[in-house]
Chain A
Amino acid sequence: GDSVTQMEGPVTLSEEAFLTINCTYTATGYPSLFWYVQYPGEGLQLLLKATKADDKGSNKGFEATYRKETTSFHLEKGSVQVSDSAVYFCALSYSGGGADGLTFGKGTHLIIQP
């Protein structure tokens, strides 16, 4: 079946550091890929998505590129802030995000220190 694997956390960085959170996937078809963010006590919010190979999703300074050849969708940000501290989930689905259940990774807890 389909699966998503993320790097284990927590990931602790200093403010203004460069961030990479690795995500790889196993899928039987050609899914859409997503990054969601969860702040403490809240539900998940869509951060960015890419629907086909070589697409780049971006939002709030975060970027991720859909790499079919390496089955990866790594999340990057050039300069993190304390407010980026949260849990980040990589996910896939076979639709644009609706009309299909999402398959999630286990999440990566990111801690940014001032």
Chain B
Amino acid sequence: NAGVMQNPRHLVRRRGQEARLRCSPMKGHSHVYWYRQLPEEGLKFMVYLQKENIIDESGMPKERFSAEFPKEGPSILRIQQVVRGDSAAYFCASSRGRDEQFFGPGTRLTVL
């Protein structure tokens, strides 16, 4: 049973470009979570999604950030017009419901 998959593992963007991060949950998991880890910081919760629904986006920045989890395909975290402060590791996790969250290896975003 494959774990949570994230791609790309490393992403480099120039200021003003768009970044798209993908997350494929574990088989049988319908809940997806996105977290951001800034340098020297712990993980900060961003958003919690179920299939086709955003359940909690209390940790998402108000502008430029969006997330989706369509009926088919991976969850996408989209960052428009990236700035240097967006450079971080972005982790996705999935769960079957109220059970344990399983984490992916992360995408390391560097904004030049």
Contact = CB atoms under 8 A, between A and B. Distances in A.
A96 B106 CA distance: 23
Nearest to A36: B103
A89 interface: yes
B64 interface: no
B100 interface: yes
A66 to B, nearest CB: 17
A95 B48 contact: no
Interface stretch (A13-21, A67-75, A78-86, A99-107): A99-107
A43 B43 contact: no
A26 interface: no
A61 interface: no
Interface size class, chain A:
20 to 34
B91 A43 contact: yes
B95 A104 contact: no
A100 B101 CA distance: 9
A43 B6 CA distance: 10
Interface of A: 4, 36, 41-46, 49, 89, 95-107
Interface of B: 4, 6, 31, 33, 35, 40-45, 48, 56, 58-59, 91, 93, 95-106
